[in-house]
């Protein structure tokens, strides 16, 4: 298939259609309105359904219903809207329903701003709503990768019967890049979901539920979920760039900041400083082992995020004092330039000679 120049948000929408998804429920919020807008135009063309929900609370519960009835279903929103979806996501995780949720993060807390941010890392990777649960979280750093990960997200959601979140930021959503879609799945070719509420003809009753009044049963359910999250560990994905033969500073960054790091790597090279990049693609499960191994070849580690320091906690826990770990963050919609990253790397080297 020929590559097509597309905006990140549109590529995400089209990728969902290529994944065989024919249902979208969502509520407008900047900076991701192009996704619902795209779906509202495209879904009717392919026999699908777009519903503008009355709120993100409602949208997340529409997802619950549709996923429970066995449909591939997806929604997108941005930070404040994702906060409202936490109710549905907790129930979806509890009832083990496959859904795909896109969060094009903007600055917070509160209404915050509408510019790019990565400040929902904790919310995305540590559960987000109430109860012991995890989402599988994928962080693209290019438009092509966003399209690929959206298609994979539907398969992963089905495989683990778990909500999958695509965690992007405003830059990924708005930038235009050439994209191709790696596969096209027809909804009718998707495997049956024998557990779904599709009408009980010819079988026992199916129930989609998250209520366990018996504490022993709830405990068993909690550990079942926990074991599932452990099984998901094999899905870790990451990119290690410019790390062969070791480096002076290993920058750990995801999404947009990882792109900026690649420019910083070139700038640093001219100054005789070798920067490597470790880019987690799955934020949950976190590629801890790969990070530790990659960091062995680095003199020090610098975590950079569009937050005041969230992923850095996971990195520090992984490195566990074996290397100095610095942090550099910009927030509020401010994005660091590659020169800032080089400067921070130089400082780190100067301190830890």
Partner 1 sequence: MPSVIIDKDRCKGCELCVYACPEDVLAMSDEINAKGYFVPIVAHPENCTGCRYCLLVCPDVAIQVENKGKVTKPPESLTGKPFSYCPGCTHGVIHRLIAEVMDELGIQERTVGIAPVGCSVLAYEFFACDMQEASHGRAMAVATGIKRGRPDLTVFTYQGDGDLASIGMAETVHAANRGEKITVIFVNNAIYGMTGGQMAPTTLPGQVASTCPTGRDVTLTGYPIRVVELLKSLRTPAYLARVTVTDPKNVLAAKKAIRKAFKYQLEGTCFSLVEVLSTCPIGWGETPHDACGWLQENMVPYYPLGEVKVPEEATVQAGS
Whether 115 contacts 106, CB under 8 Å: yes
Mapping DSSP to helix (H, G, I), strand (E, B) and coil, where does residue 75 land? strand
Q: What DSSP character marks residue 281?
A: S
Give the contacts of 291 (CB within 8 A, at least 6 positions apart): 238, 252, 278, 280, 315, 318, 319
Closest distance of CB 25 from partner 1, Å: 7
Written as six digits, the tokens of 35 are: 């996704």
Residues of the shown chain interacting with partner 1 in the complex, contacts defined by CB under 8 A? 23, 25, 49, 51, 53-55, 57-59, 61-71, 73, 87-88, 91, 95, 197-202, 205-211
CB-wise, 66 or 251, nearer to partner 1? 66
Q: Which residues are 241's β-sheet partners?
A: 277
CB-wise, 70 or 112, nearer to partner 1? 70
Closest distance of CB 165 from partner 1, Å: 18
Closest distance of CB 96 from partner 1, Å: 13
Tell me how far apart the alpha carbons of residues 19 and 115 are, in angstroms, rounded to a whole number: 29
Tell me how far apart the alpha carbons of residues 31 and 343 are, in angstroms, rounded to a whole number: 30
Q: What angle do CA 187, 191, 193 make, to 5 degrees?
A: 105
Closest CA to 27 of 98, 65, 80, 92: 80
CB-wise, 68 or 113, nearer to partner 1? 68
Closest distance of CB 170 from partner 1, Å: 28
Can you spell out the DSSP letters for 100-129? Answer: EEEEEEB--STT--SSB--TTHHHHHS-SS
Could you check whether the bond before residue 59 is cis, i.e. omega within 30 degrees of 0? no
Closest distance of CB 16 from partner 1, Å: 14
Tell me how far apart the alpha carbons of residues 121 and 253 are, in angstroms, rounded to a whole number: 12
Closest distance of CB 28 from partner 1, Å: 15
CB-wise, 162 or 256, nearer to partner 1? 162
CB-wise, 48 or 173, nearer to partner 1? 48
Mapping DSSP to helix (H, G, I), strand (E, B) and coil, where does residue 136 land? strand
Whether 285 contacts 235, CB under 8 Å: yes
Closest distance of CB 196 from partner 1, Å: 8
CB-wise, 69 or 114, nearer to partner 1? 69
CB-wise, 61 or 76, nearer to partner 1? 61
């Amino acid at each position: 298939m020929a590559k097509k120049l597309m905006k990140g948000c549109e590529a995400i929408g089209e990728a969902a259609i290529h994944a065989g998804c024919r249902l979208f429920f969502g509520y407008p919020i900047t900076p991701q309105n192009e996704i619902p807008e795209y779906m509202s135009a495209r879904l009717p063309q392919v026999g699908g359904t777009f519903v503008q929900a009355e709120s993100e609370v409602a949208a997340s519960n529409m997802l619950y219903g549709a996923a429970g009835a066995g449909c591939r279903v997806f929604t997108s929103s941005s930070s404040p809207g994702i906060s409202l979806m936490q109710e549905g996501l907790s129930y979806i995780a509890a009832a083990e329903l496959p859904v795909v949720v896109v969060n094009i993060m903007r600055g917070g807390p509160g209404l915050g701003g509408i510019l790019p941010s990565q400040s929902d890392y904790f919310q995305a990777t540590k559960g987000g709503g109430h109860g012991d649960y995890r989402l599988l979280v994928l962080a693209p750093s290019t438009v092509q990768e966003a399209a690929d990960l959206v298609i994979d997200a539907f398969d992963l959601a089905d495989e683990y019967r778990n909500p999958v979140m695509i965690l992007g930021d405003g830059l990924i959503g708005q930038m235009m890049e050439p994209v191709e879609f790696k596969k096209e799945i027809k909804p009718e070719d998707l495997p049956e979901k024998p557990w779904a509420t599709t009408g009980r003809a010819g079988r026992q009753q199916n129930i989609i539920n998250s209520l366990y009044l018996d504490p022993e049963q709830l405990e068993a359910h909690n550990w079942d979920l926990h074991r599932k999250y452990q099984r998901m560990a094999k899905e870790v994905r990451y990119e290690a760039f410019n790390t062969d033969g070791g480096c002076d500073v290993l920058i750990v960054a995801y999404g947009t900041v990882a792109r900026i790091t690649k420019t910083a790597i070139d700038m640093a090279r001219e100054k005789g400083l070798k920067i490597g990049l470790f880019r987690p693609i799955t934020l949950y499960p976190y590629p801890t082992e790969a990070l530790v191994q990659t960091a062995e070849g680095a003199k020090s580690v610098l975590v950079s995020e569009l937050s005041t320091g969230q992923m850095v906690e996971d990195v520090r826990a992984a490195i566990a004092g074996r290397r100095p770990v610095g942090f550099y963050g910009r927030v509020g919609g401010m994005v660091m330039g590659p020169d800032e990253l080089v400067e921070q790397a130089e400082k780190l080297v100067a301190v830890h000679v």
